[in-house]
């Protein structure tokens, strides 16, 4: 429902309508159908969303303007770059408000350049491994999205990941502007992701958060892969985290207090996530 510029947009709208036993012919019907699907997943226990924002887009607009853009997309009319930016920005803010209402956390994965090889795309289809890091600037649009939600008190808990380590400090500083509501680390800088879940990528992400944010409130590593072998990255992450803290103690930057630091590691690796996602064990 967000990627209006793709050839899959109209088939996706039709598929959603079939799922909802209706024909989606208006923007209000689209939004209502989205809300009903979120209610369904909420009833099934879902409390966390995930959006791939390869390019972060946002412009100030109105519902009426976005509705007109929706009809252009539904009728296969040519969309301008401003049309796409306004539609996508409006929709991600819509979802953010919906997540806040339900107590969900929102994940934003930023900066993938997908399906680089046309030859392999035609041979194997989308998302088959021919992807790379994107270098599109995004700070202004990201801040616009977060601020649009925050100004109305509807900013959900949010975790932001970047695929380009060039942007680590951007995210580590942006999140500081949108904390609050009595939630520790309400807006998080997510762990090293995809090309960055290796020794240098993990260390660079934690270094930026340690220098510019609050490492103790970090919800730690995630596994977004379908491979069981990927779970080993959690052990890898814990080892790098402990090494980082140990070096800080040796350098006189952290107190040599094993009980205090041990609890900090335990929180980053386990308790912070339980509390952040309201998980009962």
pLDDT beyond 70 at 201: yes
Mean pLDDT of the chain: 95
What's the pLDDT at 225?
63
Q: What CA–CA distance (Å, rounded) separates 213 from 217?
A: 9
pLDDT band at residue 1, thresholds of 50, 70 and 90?
A: confident
Give the pLDDT mean for 72-92: 96
CA angle centred on 122, ends 118 and 125, rounded to 5°: 105
What's the pLDDT at 89?
97
pLDDT beyond 70 at 226: no
The residue ranking higher by pLDDT, 184 or 227, is 184
What's the pLDDT at 231?
80
What's the pLDDT at 4?
94
Weakest mean pLDDT among 19-28, 97-106, 151-160, 180-189: 19-28
pLDDT beyond 70 at 11: yes
Give the pLDDT mean for 264-279: 96
């Amino acid at each position: 429902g967000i990627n209006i510029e793709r050839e899959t947009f109209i088939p996706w709208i039709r598929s959603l309508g079939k799922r909802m036993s209706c024909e989606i012919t208006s923007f209000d019907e689209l939004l209502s159908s989205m809300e009903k699907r979120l209610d369904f997943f909420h009833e099934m226990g879902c409390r966390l969303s995930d959006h791939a924002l390869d390019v972060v887009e946002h412009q100030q607009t109105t519902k009426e303007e976005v509705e007109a853009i929706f009809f252009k997309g539904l009728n296969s009319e040519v969309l301008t770059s401003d049309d796409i930016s306004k539609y996508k920005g409006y929709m991600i803010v819509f979802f953010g408000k919906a997540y806040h209402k339900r107590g969900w956390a929102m994940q934003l994965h930023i900066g993938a350049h997908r399906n680089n090889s046309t030859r392999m795309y035609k041979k194997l289809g989308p998302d088959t491994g021919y992807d790379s890091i994107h270098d599109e600037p995004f700070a202004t649009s990201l801040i616009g999205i977060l601020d649009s939600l925050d100004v109305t008190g509807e900013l959900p808990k949010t975790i932001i990941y970047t695929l380009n380590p060039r942007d680590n400090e951007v995210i580590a500083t942006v999140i500081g502007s949108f904390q609050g509501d009595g939630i520790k680390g309400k807006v998080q800088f997510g762990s090293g992701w995809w090309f960055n879940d290796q020794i240098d990528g993990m260390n660079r992400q934690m270094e930026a958060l340690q220098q510019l944010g609050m490492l103790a409130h970090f919800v730690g590593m995630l596994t977004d892969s379908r491979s069981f072998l990927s779970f080993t990255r959690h052990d890898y992450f814990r080892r790098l985290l402990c090494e980082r803290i140990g070096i800080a103690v040796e350098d006189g930057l952290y107190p040599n207090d094993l009980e205090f630091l041990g609890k900090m590691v335990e929180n980053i690796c386990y308790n912070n996530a339980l509390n952040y996602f309201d998980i009962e064990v």
